[in-house]
Structures are given as C-alpha cells and as structure tokens.
Amino acid sequence: MRAVITVVGKDKIGIIASVTTMLTEKNINILDISQTILQDFFTMVMIVDTSKSTMKFEEIREALKYQGQKLDLSIRIQHEDIFNSMHTI
Amino acid sequence: MINYNNIMETISMIEREKLDIRTITMGISLLDCIREDSRTCNQKIYDKITKKAEHLVKTGNDIEMEYGIPIINKRISITPMALIAQATSETNYVKFAETLDKAAKEVGVNFIGGYSALVQKGYTKGDEILIKSIPEALNSTERVCSSVNVGNTKSGINMNAVREMGQVIVDTAKLTADRDSIGCAKLVVFANAVEDNPFMAGAFHGVGEPDCVINVGVSGPGVVKVALESCKGKPFDMVADIIKKTSFKITRVGQLVATEASRRLDVPFGIVDLSLAPTPEIGDSVARILEEMGLGACGAPGTTAALALLNDAVKKGGIMASSHVGGLSGAFVPVSEDEGMIEAVKSGALTLEKLEAMTCVCSVGLDMIAIPGDTPAETIAAMIADEAAIGVINNKTTAVRIIPVIGKGVGEEVFFGGLLGSAPIMKVNSFSSKLFIERGGRIPAPVHSMKN
C-alpha cells in the first residue's frame, strides 16, 4: 500500500535521519521526499510503500506517532488515496 | 509526485478545520422479517440487524485509521417500523423499539433510525399504533430514533397527522421531562421525507431501497468558513466559487469513504449526502459561514439570502464529486448543535420567525429548537403545518424537531450534551392556533404537483 507520511514540528538536527532510520527498520520503502522549513517549522512529506513491511498498518501508525512524541513532532501516516481523491478529478 | 500544498491543505482541513465524515449509515430492509407472530418477528429483526451490521463499526474505525479522516458516527436505518409490525396482532409497538435498541447496542452503533410511519395521505392500522406508541418508545429506549412523514408535494398535507404529532411531541417531552425532554430530540416530523437520508434523527430505509445499502454523510462547515476568510469584501460570484470548490473536495472524501466501506462490507453503495452539518464545537458552525459573508450575526437581514447561496453552492460543488448524491444534501441549521446559532439566539439576533424563513432555502427545517415547556400542543402542530407547507409548496424536504422543555421558559437554557449540544429556550408566538388545528382533514396537493 502506498501511503503519505507527514512530519510537522519545530526544526532540529536529525529529524530526517531518525524518521528514515525507523522506516528502514520496519522495511518501509521511501518513494519520494519533499521537505521545507516554514517560519521555523519543519515540514516533510514522504510517499512510502508499506507492502514489504511485516507490520500491520495500525502498528506502523502507532510506532510513528510514538516516535513523533519522542522528538516533539507530529508524524502521521495516511493512505495516499485520501489526497488523490480530494485533489484530482 | 508529491504536491506539497495539496497534502498540507488536506491535513489542515482535518486537523484544524474539523473536516470529518459525519456518519456511515447502513440501511437495512426489514421487509423480509414480517411475521404474524410478534415474538418471531422481533427475533427476525434482531438477527438481521446484528448480522448485517456485525462489522459496520469496526470497518468504520479501520477506514478512519488508514485514511486519517475522523468518522464520527456509525449508524443504522431500517424500513419504517409501522410497515413491519402491522402484520402482528400487537396493539403497542414499544417491544419492537426495544428490539431495535438492543440490536443497536449489540453492534455498537449510537443511533438506529426508522421507528417511523409514512402518513402523508392517511393512516394504516400499523401507522396508528406506531404513532401512539412513540412517546413511550422514545422514553424506554436510548438509541432509537423516530420520524413521521405528514406531507408530500404529490399528496398534500395530512392535517390529522399534523394535529396528532403536536400532541405526540408534548407527550414525549412530558415522559422524558426528567432528562430535559430529550425524547423530542430523537423525533422528527417530515414533509417530503427522503428514503436514503443517512442523518439522524430522521433516517429510515425506504421501501424502494435495496436489501442493504451504505449511505455516507459528510460534513465540514469549518472548512468552508476558513476558505471564505480568503475573500473578505469580494463579490458573491467569488464566494459561490470558493464554496463550490470546497464542497467538491469535501464530497470527494465522502465518496472515497463510501466506496471503501461498501467494498469492505460487501454492501452496495447508495449515496453520499453532501450536507454541511454543524456541531457545538467552536469552528464547526454554519452560522459562522453566514457571518463570514458579512452579516453582523446570524439572523440579521440578509441571512436568508446568504443561506440560499450557501445551500446552492454546496450542491453544485458536490454533485460532480460523487457518483450518486442523495439524502438531504445542503446546509443544516440545527440551533442547539451549532455554536454560532446558539450565540445568535442568546444575543437576540436570531428568532424563530427568521429560522422559519431560513428553512425555505436550506436542506431541512426547524431543527433542534428548544421552546417553553408550556407551549400548547396545537401551537406545536401549527408550527409543523407551517413547515410542511413550505416543503410541500417548494418541492423540498422540511422537518420539525422541536423540544418543549418541561419546566423551563424563555431565557433559560437546556443542556443535552454531546453532538446534541445546548440550547436557549426560544420565544414562541403566543396567539392561538387551536381552532385552525382542530379542523383536521387534508390540505390538497399544490397545483404544480400535477406534472404528468
């Protein structure tokens, strides 16, 4: 399943490293990354493929949420179709 | 390819502007549960509902988790109970309401709608028994919702039913007086009721519907309000355009959830109801959209025009976003469930008469309005007649869901809690409608209903 991960929070060193390391451990493939800083706020959008991961989607979601809390960031994962359906005809 | 702005826009709609799916409602036909023996009939009803809706709540929760969009309610609508129960020899249908309540609790839905009768032209035996039992049924159950259709553009208005419903509302209020007459919040009197409405308390599963169907109601007044903040002072052409675009996006999410729920539950997809349904939370109000258009308060002159534009633009934007649009589709104006409306009533900007005018151009009617507990049944019946006339003449659905709060008067407030919110008691015109309501009979169908 292709999903979109969004990371939003205060910028600090090592955010990308910690998130991508975690995805590697869970065997989640990153297909695309886009990242920017908006008024000191770090925002990153990633498109990932979760089909090779042995974890259930719910577990991935919880793990990302937990990781986010540790780093004081908000990390979400959502099925990409919600974005596709809303913004494309 | 990532479109960064699109993704962040969606996230912001969900996180900050309270975009949600208001309800996934499973419509279940009970026609095949009709039995002469009451006990068997009740068993059949219970078995069918609990089997069909077994995975409804879990599926809703799964979709919410995967797509990251809140799905607030999972609900069930059933064939109007008067049609099912009248084959039995029972003279009171409260037992059937209790069976529905039990089934709703078993599958974990918060409301089940369809303790209903369609009497726009007259009563059958079952309609009569069911309507008489509504107060007791709403008192002895928690999750059952009831509705009665008293008029149609094609058949006129059944004024005998209008008169009786005035009394039924008063009786329901009295029976549930210890809980601020909350029974009335679960009772809707309709004209031109639709068969595929997913929203409570007026949902029922029409006889023209399939055996089982998934209908979805979207929401998102907050999203429209925020979108309009970008065009302060601009002409209405632009306002309408922004509402259409926003409504399109909201409805696309509804369509996605409906298709996905239908696939996972292996139940056909019925319709998406593209309504703007407010909640008592800040930032989730229809009144605030109207105010964003430039009104000092909801209820000020101009409110009806603003609501007309909103209602129309919501439909235009949503129609292309869904393969089947249905239900009520438009903007809701339930006073107690809308933070901005509550405020407008308290400040004196919004009156019952203005609300009546607003119901000519929105998708429902006088909804969730608390009135003094000593309002005569005839006055309530006359309010129903007025609303039904608006619906019948204008070819639209209208509804009355008013709560005469026993023991309370104008200026006091009532708290229902949760999605039902709180409401200031509104002033009702005190001149008598008694002789008008006593006439009974039928108001004939309007001339423009003769289209064949």
What is the nearest CA distance from B198 to chain A, expressed in angstroms?
Answer: 22
A76–B68 CB contact, under 8 Å: yes
Chain A partners within 8 Å of B318 (Cβ)? none
A85–B10 CB contact, under 8 Å: no
Chain B partners within 8 Å of A57 (Cβ)? 65-66
B positions 244-303 inside 8 Å of A (CB): 249, 252-253, 255-256
Could you report how far apart the first and last alpha carbons of chain A are, in Å?
Answer: 21
Q: How many CB pairs under 8 A join A and B?
A: 57
B8–A87 CB contact, under 8 Å: no
Chain A partners within 8 Å of B68 (Cβ)? 76-79, 82
Give me the pLDDT at residue B256, please: 96
What is the nearest CA distance from B396 to chain A, expressed in angstroms?
Answer: 29
CB of B75 closer than 8 Å to CB of B110: yes
Global ipTM? 0.91
Give me the pLDDT at residue B417, please: 81
A47–B2 CB contact, under 8 Å: yes
To the nearest whole percent, how much of chain B has pLDDT over 90?
91
Contacts of B435 (CB under 8 A, 6+ apart): none
Residue in chain B nearest A62 by alpha carbon? B65
**CATH number, domain B218-442, options 3.90.550.10, 3.20.70.20, 3.90.1330.10, 3.40.50.970:** 3.20.70.20
Residue B295's nearest CA partner among B357, B350, B257 is B350
Q: Locate tokens 């995975």: which residue?
A: B55
What is the nearest CA distance from B261 to chain A, expressed in angstroms?
Answer: 14
Residue A76 near chain B (CB below 8 Å): yes
Residue in chain B nearest A57 by alpha carbon? B66
Give me the pLDDT at residue B309, please: 97
Residue B8 near chain A (CB below 8 Å): yes
Domain B23-191 adopts which CATH fold?
A: Anaerobic Ribonucleotide-triphosphate Reductase Large Chain (3.20.70)
C-alpha distance from residue B433 to each of B150, B163, B208, B264, B438 (Å): 18, 11, 37, 52, 9
**Residue limits of CATH 3.20.70.20 in chain B:** 23-191, 218-442
Chain A partners within 8 Å of B3 (Cβ)? 83, 87
Q: What is the pLDDT of residues A3-58, one digit of tens each?
A: 999 999 999 899 999 999 999 999 999 999 999 987 788 999 999 999 999 999 99
A79–B11 CB contact, under 8 Å: no
Residue B136's nearest CA partner among B204, B87, B186, B180 is B186
Closest residue to A87, CB basis, from B6, B66, B69: B6
A positions 9-48 inside 8 Å of B (CB): 32-34, 36, 43, 45, 47
Give me the pLDDT at residue B3, please: 84
Tokens of A82: 């919600």
Helix/strand number for chain B, H first, E second = 15, 13
Please identify every stretch of chain B with a pLDDT value under 50, giving residue numbers as ranges.
Answer: none
A45–B65 CB contact, under 8 Å: no
Residue B399's nearest CA partner among B179, B200, B154, B144 is B200
CB of B213 closer than 8 Å to CB of B270: yes
Q: Does the bond joining B201 to the residue before it have cis omega, within 30 degrees of 0?
A: yes
What is the nearest CA distance from A20 to chain B, expressed in angstroms?
Answer: 17
Residue B4 near chain A (CB below 8 Å): yes
Closest residue to B4, CB basis, from A45, A78, A81: A45
Give me the pLDDT at residue B2, please: 67
Q: Which of B1, B3, B6, B11 is the best substitution to test chain A (most A C-beta atoms within 10 A)?
A: B11
Q: Is the pLDDT of residue A63 over 70?
A: yes
How high is the mean pLDDT of chain B? 95
- Give all domains of chain A, ordered by start, each with its CATH number: 2-87 (3.30.70.260)
Taking residues A69-74, what's their average pLDDT? 92
Residue in chain B nearest A80 by alpha carbon? B67
B253–A81 CB contact, under 8 Å: no
Contacts of B241 (CB under 8 A, 6+ apart): B313
Closest residue to A81, CB basis, from B4, B249, B256: B256
Closest residue to B7, CB basis, from A57, A79, A83: A83
Could you give the CA distance from residue B371 to residue B355 in angstroms, rounded to a whole number?
Answer: 13
Residue B5 near chain A (CB below 8 Å): no
Q: What is the pLDDT of residues B247-277, one digit of tens each?
A: 999 999 999 999 999 999 999 999 999 889 8
